[in-house]
A and B are shown apart, each in its own frame.
Chain A
Amino acid sequence: MAAKRQVRLTVNGTQYEASVEPRMTLVDFLRGELGLNGTHVGCEHGVCGACTILLEGRAVRACLMLAVQADGANIMTVEGLAPDGKLHPIQEAFIEEHGLQCGFCTPGFLMSVYELLHDNPNPSEEAILDSLGGNICRCTGYQSIRKSVRLAAEKVRTSSSAPQGG
């Protein structure tokens, strides 16, 4: 077994330190080592987007990164959206517009939407599609997701919790 390496990182504002095998993926680390189970594994090929997290504010697939690569990083997962239990406007929007059914892909969508609204507070339909083309949902057919994102944009614009850079 390859020598374990120290990893220090910040996730949702909390600092963590752990010792990991180099081959452990970031998503397995977040779930298994840190107990942050909101990020899901759908394929491990980098296609479905269920594992999407924010790395330095940028949406990336956690199944395509190694935990050791996150040393020194600042990460946000779905648990960071409602740290004290109060739902984020994006989460509220998805509930109001029924933008989820089984909920497995939802955290990945929420993180992609978070990045989208940070870059583009008033996204066009095309910008929404571009941002979410890499998140697959098998339940909703995306209709209600489109509505959820438009409502989320409106809520975020009119609230004081505009997404920060993560």
Chain B
Amino acid sequence: MAVDIQSSIGQLPVGEARFVGKSVKRVEDPLLVTGRVEFIDNVVLPGMLHCAILRSPYAHARIRSVDVSEARKLPGVFAVVTGEDAKRWTQPGPASPEGWGAHCLAVDKVRFVGEPVAAVAATSRYVAEDAIELINVDYDPLPPVVDAFKAAQADGPLVFEDKGTNIMYQRVFKWGEVDDAFRDADRVFTEQFRWHRLGANPMETFGVVSQWDPVDGSVTIHGAYQAPTHMAIGRAIVLQLPMNKVRVIGHPHGGSFGGKGGARGTDITALLSRKTGGRPVKWIEDRIEYITGGGSQAWDRHYEVALAVKKDGTVTGLKVKLLDDLGATGEGFGAIGAAKPLASFTGCYAIPVAEYDLTLVATNKLPAGPYRGMGPPPHNFVLEQMMDIAARGLGIDPAEIRRKNFIPPDRFPYTIASGNEYDSGEYEAALNTVLEMSDYSRLRQEQAEARKRGRYLGIGVVSTIEPGVFDWNAYAIVGVPGTGVPEGVTVSIDLFGKILVNVGFPIEGQGQYTLATQILADYFGVELADVRVVMQDTLSAPPNFGPGGSHLGVALTGAILGAADRLRDKLVAVAARLMQTEAQHVELKEGKLRIKGVPGAEMPVAQVAAVMLTRSDLLPPDMEQRPEATYVWTSPGRTPADDQGRAKSYLTAANACHVALVEIDPGTGKVAILKYWIADDCGVRLNPANVEGMIDGGVAQGVGAALLEEYVYNEEGQLLTSTFMDYLLPTIHDVPVTEKKGLVTPSPFTPLGAKGVGEGAIHTTPAAIMCAINDALLPLGVRTTEVPATPQRLWTLMRSAQQPS
């Protein structure tokens, strides 16, 4: 049955939408504020045991032997597993690039500090930790490789000996006549940048309870998963089970931001459960485990960038060379973060040609994983820095050089050099909005006066794209297959007229259950309280992905409207028969099925649904007794990637323009963010409060990225920042109150015109703050190119400028 999903709120079968487009209070919140949501650590099953994992203290070593005999004897210990069990019962996990995966417990060698080597299931986590201390591992340490450049060279320690190299991937993409553009440019600006490792750190770490069924050889897994279906696929592969023997039940979880992790922990607990003959085994990852061994790290990058410009400021070409240190294996899918920049490679600018020289290298560090933004935040940082460098070099104001290069509004849909298509945009309108909000010319005056008094005030003006609604083809270049990300839901009406929507994903904070509720309440003309969202596990849910890649708001809307439309068609057919007319004369409006143009000839939705369930005699022939419909939405018009990685991948392109005012204390190098303005255009806002929440959260993570967060490894591959004392998350003191304005340039391609915004301002804030910092440093003639801009780094830089030569 073909459906024609509504492209704007005005097309919903309701006069005026009461809920969609409004900041309705979230349906998730009452359970959350009372502490009653079932986070994974609440789960207690009969016979449940607790897992602790013994992890490698070495970054690189051969394992000569693992002696678990003492651990086994400790009272309260019921099972111990090692790499031998992993080798016997599992495959190495899926990885990107393919072939760079490893077993869940180290087999023969360890490749990073924190890599699991053995695990215990015991009566409590306390006892399990006592037990792992009794395991004796005989290591033969090997020299680690920790520097990305050294790793890329031929002579040196190999993380995977059988690969003969540490280079996981190397390729140069040339989109258009790049060399000509650089040869013909009036000026070419170049710079190198360093972005240090950082990562998700949701407040809840990963957790899982796995239970093996020894009779039918299946596994049931409860876990804090961002994307349960995706996880189930990986588990089936690793545990060598058919997918219908893997049941994954996602739990509401305390944030994810891409980096929840959980693959190894799930597989290890499944093995332990198998070894105990089927007792459930729980593992709650502790914070140190998360930081050193979990989904916590991303974007360990060395950039060399070049911008070709005409003297009037028109940018004619962009070259980005990236050396990305992915750590010990590809199991974290950090490679995806190096591919995603293709979706918005040239940002908001009409840069016609570009080049991407990409090298992914393995080192003895934690395998890099996903983190909100999935790669563009550092890419946007370098692009925006280059725009500023060009602006200064040419004597043009940074806001004006951007304006000059924006893709004009009448050129959409616009295909960028790297192949993706932007749906719509009004970049100049956003820029003007934020310049007005910040009173930009007065800010520059303020800055001039402050400079005279020896203060280091800086203003950053940046404009970025936030690609939304991801597709797998965006990652084709690193071997991820397929196009289309299905997101399916089932909508049904019960005997008493209440609405149920079944989804495949648990709550993780973006308010998606509220969005589902809003849409259905308006669609069927009921109250919010009449709609309930219930998650199904991976053996019951239709194909779905869940949150990720700023996809779910749009995809969920599409899936719900698709299902609702199908359900409406059934109700219309039944109502028509009951009102003795043709279906084409009946419409759904304000919660009633009514004959068009005949006032009073109507039936409430609830009544029609009840008839469907109780009066088969009254139904049209071939009509199922089923006021229910399923729809699986996917982005329309996706194309497979060509040999240069070009594809219509991310469906939407939201835009944000930020202005940041900072001050640097020259005595200490500390940066204070004095003021911050945002003009954000993510199309139609289906729940403005939710959208603002995504932006605010992204700003905070952007502040963390720019000023605070960094994982530091020493030459031995030991992580020096392994706790929250040293890995610094922004607190309420660190995040400025921002002034925000929303613009609405709808997407012509999405249901209701919304664009993905779940990854929010992390795409923009690091660039804004770093550009502001460098603007502050201008009088000194120095520039910082390293993120985060710690007080010591800035002080050292400023001092070097002030030393007499």
Contact = CB atoms under 8 A, between A and B. Distances in A.
Verify whether A and B have any Cβ pair under 8 Å: yes
Interface of A: 21, 23-24, 31, 37-45, 47-48, 50, 77-79, 81-82, 87, 91, 94-96, 98, 100-107, 110, 128-129, 132-146
B254 interface: yes
Interface string B199-212: 00111110000000
* SS of B interface (majority): loop
A39 to B, nearest CB: 7
Interface in B285-313: 286-287
A45 B205 CA distance: 14
Contacts of A43: 287, 723-724
Contacts of A137: 203, 700, 732
Interface string B687-710: 001101101111111000000000
Interface residues of B, number: 56
B64 interface: no
A146 B732 contact: yes
Interface stretch (B326-334, B345-353, B408-416, B504-512): B504-512
B100 interface: no
20 contacts: A21-B126, A24-B126, A42-B203, A45-B287, A91-B34, A98-B25, A98-B690, A102-B509, A103-B31, A103-B254, A104-B255, A110-B33, A136-B731, A137-B732, A139-B255, A139-B697, A141-B695, A141-B698, A141-B701, A142-B696
Nearest to A85: B34
A138 B731 contact: no
A27 B698 CA distance: 30
B36 interface: yes
A38 B35 CA distance: 4
Contacts of B693: 98, 101, 139-141, 144
A142 B254 contact: no
Contacts of A48: 203, 287, 724, 729
Interface stretch (B620-628, B733-741, B768-776): B733-741
B39 A143 contact: no
A107 B35 contact: yes
Contact of B689 (A38, A98, A102, A145): A98
B536 interface: no
A44 B697 contact: no
Nearest to B761: A141
A128 B511 CA distance: 26
A12 to B, nearest CB: 11
B203 A136 contact: yes
Contacts of B215: none
B286 A133 contact: no
B128 to A, nearest CB: 13
A138 B257 contact: yes
B284 to A, nearest CB: 8
B35 A79 contact: yes
B42 interface: yes
B253 interface: yes
B30 interface: yes
A81 B34 contact: yes
Contacts of A87: 30, 33-34
A45 B725 contact: yes
B451 to A, nearest CB: 29
Contact of A139 (B29, B33, B126, B509): B509
A104 B254 contact: yes
B688 to A, nearest CB: 10
A143 B737 contact: yes
Contacts of A44: 286-287
A102 B203 contact: yes
B534 interface: no
B6 interface: no
Contacts of A138: 201-203, 255, 257, 697, 700-701, 729
A77 to B, nearest CB: 8
A94 to B, nearest CB: 6
Contacts of B738: 143
Contact of A104 (B29, B39, B696, B731): B39
Contacts of B725: 45, 47
Given A40-B41, A104-B202, 13 more contacts: A38-B34, A38-B36, A41-B41, A42-B204, A48-B724, A102-B203, A102-B254, A103-B29, A110-B33, A132-B731, A133-B733, A141-B698, A143-B737
A91 B203 CA distance: 20
A41 B724 CA distance: 13
A92 B725 CA distance: 33
Nearest to A79: B35
A87 B254 CA distance: 21
B41 A31 contact: yes
B785 interface: no
A105 B732 contact: no
Among all A-B residue pairs, the 5 with the closest Cβ atoms? A38-B35, A104-B254, A103-B32, A102-B509, A141-B696
Nearest to B127: A1
Most B-side CB within 10 Å, residue of A40, A50, A78: A40
B28 interface: yes
Nearest to A95: B29
Contacts of B287: 42-45, 48
Nearest to B29: A95
B37 A103 contact: yes
Contacts of B508: 102
Contacts of B689: 98, 144
Contact of A91 (B33, B126, B509, B724): B33
B39 A95 contact: no
Contacts of A23: 126
B573 to A, nearest CB: 40
Contact of B700 (A95, A102, A105, A141): A141
